[in-house]
Amino acid sequence: MFAVIMAGGKGSRFWPRSRERMPKHLLDILSERTIIRETVDRIRPLVPAERTLIVTGRSHAAELIRQLPEIPPENILIEPVGRNTAPCIGLAATHILKRGSDAVMLVLPSDHRIGNEPVFREVLQAAAGAASRGDSLVTIGIRPTGPETGYGYIEQGDLFSTSGNEKIYRVRSIREKPPREQAEQFFRQGGFSWNSGMFVWKASTILKAIERCLPDLHRGLIQIREALGTNREEEVVGTIYAGLQSVSIDYGVMEKAKDVLVIPGDFGWSDVGSWDTLWEVAGKDPDGNAVRGPFLGIDAADSLVHSPGKLVVLVGVRDLLVVETDDALLVCRRGRSQEVRKVIELLEREGRKDYL
């Protein structure tokens, strides 16, 4: 079994901690370990370092290798440019097949939080069992905790099999991020999972699905496969990748594929998409403050304080997100951290590259 960790994200929503050169998964914002370090550690009982592949951009490779010294450098696959998840996954599958093994791949984002790791691994193993016995594309679903509109929804059909505590269903339909009303209907109705962006399948299975659904990408991957291990590899991957269409595996493959299964999982998942989400999933003191770093509060409540080095004192405030780095300080009303994107846009417009 292989693990493929997709580490192409930018995570600009975690500014000022996240920067162009230091995206979210390379940061220790969830715990003392960086998020990619947690992601790799979490699957270690299932997959050894030699079979853990990480797909990332060139500018982040050095930091990744520094943070994950046990991963063989040849397992860091460079995407010359970001082309969304379908090319990324196709590239990883091509590498795995080239190594002579039609292994099951666990495809995992690099930057999610998993609260219950033993259950998470049970789910992955159940998925891997199902994937290895045929040509199914298995998605890891998340049992919805509310009618969120920020995720895709997977509608389950008949029960396919049972593995320990985990139930595997055929997928009836995959829905893009729905409007509020529809999300509420899905949530009330039951039988829907959130699309976590985690998948399990054999390398040959996903490549066959790519061949059917994204033939241009498949042709590119064949050319890449021929160049792998030769002195033309970097040049060929660079040329082919530049010409690829940017498309997600969900839209490009999963929504059109036939033999798709889902395991609804319940393991304390969060994609931790913003400082607000971080406050929600973080441990809090009795006043509701989630604190990293030295802190003193006087009548201060329900706030996130992220300042690894500096003493932060809050007096008479609540519902704030306070994030401090060596060169920038963010103070944001809780509930409005999506607007951090506007900060990035403003800084770009003003040419303040030093803060990006």
Q: What is the contact surface with a second copy in residues (CB under 8 A)?
A: 16, 296, 298-299, 307, 310-317, 320, 322, 324, 326-333, 335-337, 339-340, 342-343, 346-347, 352, 355
Min CB(334)–a second copy separation in Å = 9
Closest CA to 247 of 215, 269, 208: 215
Q: Closer to a second copy by CB, 251 or 355: give it.
A: 355
CA dihedral for 35, 41, 46, 52, sign (positive or negative): positive
Min CB(336)–a second copy separation in Å = 4
Min CB(113)–a second copy separation in Å = 23
Q: Closer to a second copy by CB, 244 or 340: give it.
A: 340
Peptide bond before residue 16 is cis, with ω within 30 degrees of 0:
yes
Q: Closer to a second copy by CB, 27 or 106: give it.
A: 27
Give the single-character DSSP code of 298: E
- The structure tokens listed for 252 are 């490009």
- The structure tokens listed for 251 are 């839209």
Q: Closer to a second copy by CB, 243 or 311: give it.
A: 311
Give the single-character DSSP code of 176: P
| C-beta of residue 41 within 8 angstroms of C-beta of residue 349 | no
Q: How far apart are CA 104 and CA 203, in angstroms?
A: 6
Min CB(259)–a second copy separation in Å = 46
Peptide bond before residue 109 is cis, with ω within 30 degrees of 0:
no
Q: Closer to a second copy by CB, 76 or 320: give it.
A: 320
Min CB(10)–a second copy separation in Å = 18
Q: Closer to a second copy by CB, 47 or 314: give it.
A: 314
Give the CA distances from residue 100 to residues 93, 97, 108, 204, 336, in Å, rounded to whole numbers and listed in that order: 11, 5, 22, 11, 49
Q: Closer to a second copy by CB, 226 or 280: give it.
A: 280
CA distance between the termini of the chain:
38
Question: Which position has the token pair 């006043």?
Answer: 287
Min CB(352)–a second copy separation in Å = 8
Min CB(300)–a second copy separation in Å = 8
Min CB(341)–a second copy separation in Å = 10
- Helical ranges in 74-200 per DSSP H: 85-98, 117-132, 180-189
Q: Closer to a second copy by CB, 168 or 321: give it.
A: 321
**Axis-axis angle for helices 85-98, 203-213 (nearest 10):** 130
CA dihedral for 233, 236, 241, 242, sign (positive or negative): positive
Q: DSSP states of 220-238 as a string? A: HHHHHHHHTTSTTHHHHHH
